[in-house]
Structure 1
Amino acid sequence: MSGVKKYEISEPWLKLHCALGEAPFWEESTNTLRFVDVEKQELHHVSLADGPSSHKVVKQHDISIGCTADIEGNDTEFIFGGKYGYGICNRQTGEYRWIKKVWSDEEVKAGKPDRFRGNDGAVDSGGRFWVGFMFDPLVSEMNDEGAVFKLHPDGTLDRPLSGITIPNGTTWNQKDDTMFFADSPFKTIYQFDYDAKTGSVSNKRPFFVMPKDNRYGEGAVPDGHCIDEEGFMWTALHGGSRVLRISPKGEIVAEIKVPTSQPTCPCFVGEELVITSAGGNAGEGGKPVDENAGSVFKINVGVRGLKRFRFKGGAAVEGGKEEGKVVGE
């Protein structure tokens, strides 16, 4: 651990008790932070200019949203990966519509839409939206029947990865020739060769494996992550009270101690990292697991993040016009 830079956050930036705070996203056009509470099915907004006092729950939905992304040429809506597939949501009102379901007819008959939900995801340089789907812990036991789907700008869908348990942290390196992806229960972040032109992946191998000495706790697993402009990864450790900075060689070079046990996902806002967390109702009697569980944290780390790409699917977005229904299949 020699040479590892240490940061420490003393208190939340935004004191909340999210059950599963996730998917922090900086809307640069409005200088707004949006994030979700997956289990409470809430969409949250905070003006970064006005600070925590501007926080509001835009909408409590009737479905869960796992991740979101901006849309090219559209600053009034965003695309999301949610309970049944891909949808479009109005930034101001939270109203949504479905544009693509992900499961096959056979899988629908087997009840997968009810037993699974969208989790983490991101848009690649080609404007394709990757979303990992996992068992829904509220209705199903842990299993490896999850998958990662990829929605193309023309509305077509494919399934690059299957046999997934808990998908987290889809990102790409600066050269755009490597994709990173975590399957959390395996305590491993994987890397793949990535073809930016076609969006295909191959040659799966480990990039980072949690230390065997359990220095961050036996239950600590890699959760969401992001990449900075120097090519280093910042990954939350759910169950480990940390966010780690990992070098392109897969080595820990810095760690942020977070005052809660379940940080879930970091995202860059300029040179600051904003970090969501979980556990707001996971303690005894539905109480928080610790004082700051489910809060949002912020810290300056002196480096900016790689830009996040927008979904380029004008055709796919325009194809879904029916409120609350799955279209564009």
Structure 2
Amino acid sequence: MLFFFCTIILYLSCTSATRNQCVDYDGAVVSAVSDKVMVHGEGPFWDSENNILYFVDIAQHRVYKWVENKLDYVQLDEDVSFVIPVAKKKHTFAIGLGRQLASLQWYTDNINGSIPVKVQHLTKLATVDNDKPGNRWNDAKADPKGQLWAGTMGFEDAAGNIPTGQGTLYKLNDIKSNQFPKCTQNVKPVLPRVSVSNGMAWSKDGSKMYYIDSPTKQIDLFDYDSKTDSINNRRPFYNFSTDFIPGVPDGMTIDENDNIWIANYGGAQVLHVSGVSGKLLGKLPIKAKYVSSVTFGGNNLDKLYVTTLSRGVSLEQFKEYPMSGKVLEVSGLGVKGLPNRWVQNKCFQ
């Protein structure tokens, strides 16, 4: 598919309380990477080695790749919540499929953007939350060592209601063997009783981990111990109520200045928050009601990629939010991100 021609010039807005610290992004440009409309776009991952953007459409059970302005996808048979390339395993990805952690091998010899590519090999490695069959995986990230952290959420009904405390944040510990039974035993719960486990980010020096459980409407901060690959000392870092932010926090990424960028689900914007002080630096408006996640990418990691939803947006609301469901590229921000990390784990083949 050809690069979508429509662009929008945006102006960052700040509250009066934060205007003195506001970063000026006048002239930032937002473009849709394709005219394809996602039902539930999520999980953008920029592959810096190959200049490829990966993301998923949870509701349509698809893993997408966008390369050289062309869009391609592989069709799966249930909700797919995240996709992360596996280091030293060409064409291999860690994916969250329903409640299952799986390995996907995806070969794309003919990328023409219109024909679904058949799954070459899908291996289901482990199932979590066995006592909660309505749960599913949600967001996931690889930590500074490449270990996979992934969280679940409770069943979401047609009205968008999600039970509280039914999810868990897990970590997949690495092992010396690639025997699958051992892999399943190494998916360990880290934080139980979360509701919608969501965005994660690590500071540049790896000493801090930012974490989102969406219904709390706040970003929490942990100390991260690189020797034990563990988190501790949880405390609130930024709360949406501080600046009267609507909606909830969703996916998150971090830039080279250790500032975090937060997808504001239900708020039609991306928030930019100081990773040191927890102060709001600015609000980047997005013409999509439900902004789900963000990541930095591009050749110089100076573009922000944003996933959004069309689900739940009425025809009348589309007039106000015409980019709902689009995957967006924001250029001209004047800031660079940190590279996304690949999963380093022998479980994935």
Q: TM-score range by the shorter chain?
A: 0.7 to 0.9
Does residue 1:124 correspond to 2:150, yes or no? no
AA in 2 matched with 1:209: N
| 8 A contact 1:179–1:192 mirrored in 2 | yes
Secondary structure of the structure 2 residue equivalent to 1:225 = strand
Amino acid at match of 1:307: P
Contact persistence 2:38–2:308 (CA under 8 A): yes
Give yes or no for contact 1:15–1:292 (8 Å, CA) kept in 2: no
1:2-50: CA deviation from partner (whole Å, max 9, x where unpaired): 1323545555343332121001111223321111011111111211xx3
Identity %: 25
Per-residue CA deviation, residues 49-98 of structure 1 (Å, 9 max, x unaligned), is: x32xx123x22211212122221211211112231221111233444221
Q: Which residue of 2 aligns with 1:190?
A: 220
In structure 2, distance between residues paired with 1:183 and 1:232: 19
**Could you tell me which residue of structure 2 aligns to residue 322 of structure 1?**
none
2:293 maps to 1:293: no
**Paired residue for 1:251?**
279
**Are 2:269 and 2:286, in contact at CA under 8 Å, matched by a contact in 1?**
yes
Does structure 2 retain, via aligned residues, the 8 Å contact 1:153–1:311?
A: no
Separation in 2 of the partners of 1:264 and 1:66?
12
Q: Distance between the aligned counterparts of 1:233 and 1:263, measured in 2?
A: 15
Equivalent position of 2:49 in the other structure: 29
Q: What's the offset of the Cα at 1:236?
A: 0.9
- Rounded to whole Å, the distance in 1 between the matches of 2:317 and 2:75 is 20
Q: Deviations over 1:124-171 (max 9, x none)?
A: 122210001001315884221100011112131210101111111111
Structure 2 unpaired stretches of 5+:
1-17, 108-116, 176-182
1:165 maps to 2:178: no
AA in 2 matched with 1:55: L
Partner of 2:110: none
Matched, 1:102 2:128: yes
AA aligned to 1:303 is V
Indicate the residue corresponding to 1:150 in structure 2: 171
Superposed counterparts of 1:74-113, under 5 Å: 74-92=89-107, 93=117, 94-95=119-120, 96-103=122-129, 108=130, 110=131, 112=132
For 1:203, the equivalent position in structure 2 comes to 233
Of residues 309, 313, 319 in structure 1, which corresponds to 2:341? Answer: 309
User: 1:275–1:137: structure 2 CA closer, same or farther, 3 Å change rule?
Assistant: same
Q: TM-score, normalised by structure 1?
A: 0.85
Counterparts of 1:10 and 1:141, CA distance in 2: 31
- Counterpart selection for 2:155 from 109, 131, 136: 136
Q: How large is the Cα RMSD of the aligned pairs? A: 2.2
